[in-house]
Structure 1
Amino acid sequence: MSETLDLLCQEQWRVIDQSVTGIHVNALYSFGMDDTLCTSVGSKLVPPTARSWVHRDTIVLGIQDTKLPFLREGIKNLEKKGYQVIVRNSGGLAVVLDEGVLNLSLILPENERGIDINRGYDAMWKLIKLMFSDFHKEIEAKEIVGSYCPGSYDLSINGKKFAGISQRRLRKGVAVQIYLCVNGSGEKRAGLIKEFYDIGKKEVSTKFDYPIIKPGVMASLSELLHTELMMQDVMLRLLQALQKQTNYLFAGQLNEEELPLFEAYYQRVVERNEKVLEAI
């Protein structure tokens, strides 16, 4: 068995499913959750944890996005369209969250040798391939130029991106995070981010090269697989894939030791976000 699959093969997997309840809370909640889980999983308080989450109409900006010359105008335009804007505490650029986008986090403990960053990305890529193997479509991991938040581990089918992977490392824990455009229009989501950059940057020259969005290079899994996928369909596929990689798969929530950790991390994320947005 490859080292990549070893990361998926754990003695136990705890699953925290917030694909329904997450819709009713601010997306900052999820960043506080993943920081909490990095700490608890990293300290071996709890087993490796897979968490799913969905949030309503939110644009998550990266730190580089906050340096756009006309950022305030770009944000106002998004808010006019009904989107809340937050800034995340990890790398990357702007992404769209809505009820057709499923986010998955795999939280793993770093061992003595640590987890190489590419191994984390490869493990998530393998998981997604396992989840959708019955469609017999090649899922590639490579940068899709023209997509929003481009990276070397953009996941695509026939050259169209449907997912992006990121990582967060904290206190000996690693959170490998992916957003999956499950249904709805990938092109429409990309058009929203294109408009944000068009307004936020205009023709001004900047030190950082922001992506030139080409909406046609993005699509949802439903569009690419010609099947109307719902969140519960994808959640079932996740559980089935993880079940094959472990001796014990169980549903859970934060335990008594994790709850106070969450309160502290969530507060930290909220205060940091407020400080960043106030400075704009």
Structure 2
Amino acid sequence: MGLLHQPEWRIIDQSAVGIHFQALQSFGTDDTLCNSVGSGQAPATARTWVHHNTIVLGIQDTKLPNLETGIQFLNEQNFQVIVRNSGGLAVVLDEGVLNISLILPKLEKGIDINRGYDTMWQLIQNMFTDYPQQIEAREIVGSYCPGSYDLSIHGKKFAGISQRRLKKGVAVQIYLCVNGSGKERARLIKNFYEIAKQGELIKYTPPEVVPEVMASLSELYEIPFTISDIMLRLLMQLKKFSSHLYSGSFNEYELEIFPGYYQRVVERNEKLKP
């Protein structure tokens, strides 16, 4: 039975919280949920969120020789910059990008890395079965934050998947470019890298970003999707995989441990940024 089949799914929807919800809180939240779901204090949880004008850098990006000037450039474009605690490289989050985390318990046999990725890929495919376009999972060279599970249609990437493993929980995370211009987002990251890599590259060479290989779901399907449209598709799918789907928030255990995880994320971020 697939990992999407769960006795119950709790939905924590933070997609409409707005500009006051910061990306560092998101990483602290997923770490909290990994702990609670993995230790049996909470059921399998799907969390959704949207952040306004935020660039999330990977740890490798912090090795760029001219990083400070690159961050200054992004700030001038009205983007805040943070460094995430999971793998990957720089990505763009804005009000047209929906993030989904599936937090799952590892159970006896555990969940290998590819199975986690395949679960998210399967979910996204299921969400769009009413369209003929095939959603592929393979690395899209020229995209930002390239990986073997880039999701694309006709060679144009619209989503990237990452994983966070903590205690006995697994968070499989995806960013979905729902609307807006994929090319413009890629151009922003391309410009950042061009500025930030000025100097002597010693430890890390950033990807060569080709804006034309990235697009949003609205551009690929030629339909003006909203975040709410995609949320509805997500909920309809999860309902098929569980007899009990409900909207929830942090329980008492999670409220108690969240401040510690959030503080850890903040401190790690402060160490990594210049």
* 2:163 matches 1:167: yes
Q: Deviation at 1:203? A: 6.4
In the TM superposition, what are the counterparts of 1:4-23 in structure 2 within 5 Å?
6-23=2-19
Q: Residue deviations 1:33-77, cap 9 Å, x none?
A: 000000000001111000000001000001000000100110000
Conservation of the 8 A alpha-carbon contact between 1:22 and 1:53: no
Among 128, 132, 136, the alignment partner of 2:128 is 132
Report the number of matched residues.
274
Letter matched to residue 45 of structure 1:
Q
* 2:181 matches 1:185: yes
Aligned partner of 1:113 in structure 2 is: 109
Among 134, 141, 156, the alignment partner of 2:137 is 141
Among 222, 235, 239, the alignment partner of 2:235 is 239
Conservation of the 8 A alpha-carbon contact between 2:65 and 2:199: no
Query: In structure 2, what is the Cα distance between the partners aligned to 1:203 and 1:216?
Result: 27
Conservation of the 8 A alpha-carbon contact between 2:186 and 2:209: yes
Q: RMSD across aligned C-alpha pairs, in angstroms?
A: 1.0
* 2:69 matches 1:73: yes
Query: In structure 1, what is the Cα distance between the partners aligned to 2:272 and 2:147?
Result: 24
Query: In structure 1, what is the Cα distance between the partners aligned to 2:270 and 2:204?
Result: 24
Query: In structure 1, what is the Cα distance between the partners aligned to 2:202 and 2:122?
Result: 37
Query: In structure 2, what is the Cα distance between the partners aligned to 1:15 and 1:151?
Result: 27
* 2:213 matches 1:217: yes
In the TM superposition, what are the counterparts of 1:90-105 in structure 2 within 5 Å?
90-105=86-101
Letter matched to residue 50 of structure 2:
V
Task: Flag as ranges the 4+ runs of structure 1 deviating above 2 A.
Answer: 202-209
Unaligned runs of 5+ residues in structure 1 are none
Unaligned runs of 5+ residues in structure 2 are none
Letter matched to residue 207 of structure 1:
K
* 2:157 matches 1:153: no
Q: Provide the secondary structure at the position in 2 that maps to 1:174.
A: strand
Q: Deviation at 1:206? A: 3.2
Q: Residue deviations 1:168-226, cap 9 Å, x none?
A: 00010000000000000000000000001000113644332310000000000000000
Bigger mean CA deviation after superposition, 143-152 or 23-32: 23-32
**Please, what TM-score do these two structures have when normalized by structure 2?**
0.98
Conservation of the 8 A alpha-carbon contact between 2:27 and 2:84: yes
**Please, what TM-score do these two structures have when normalized by structure 1?**
0.96
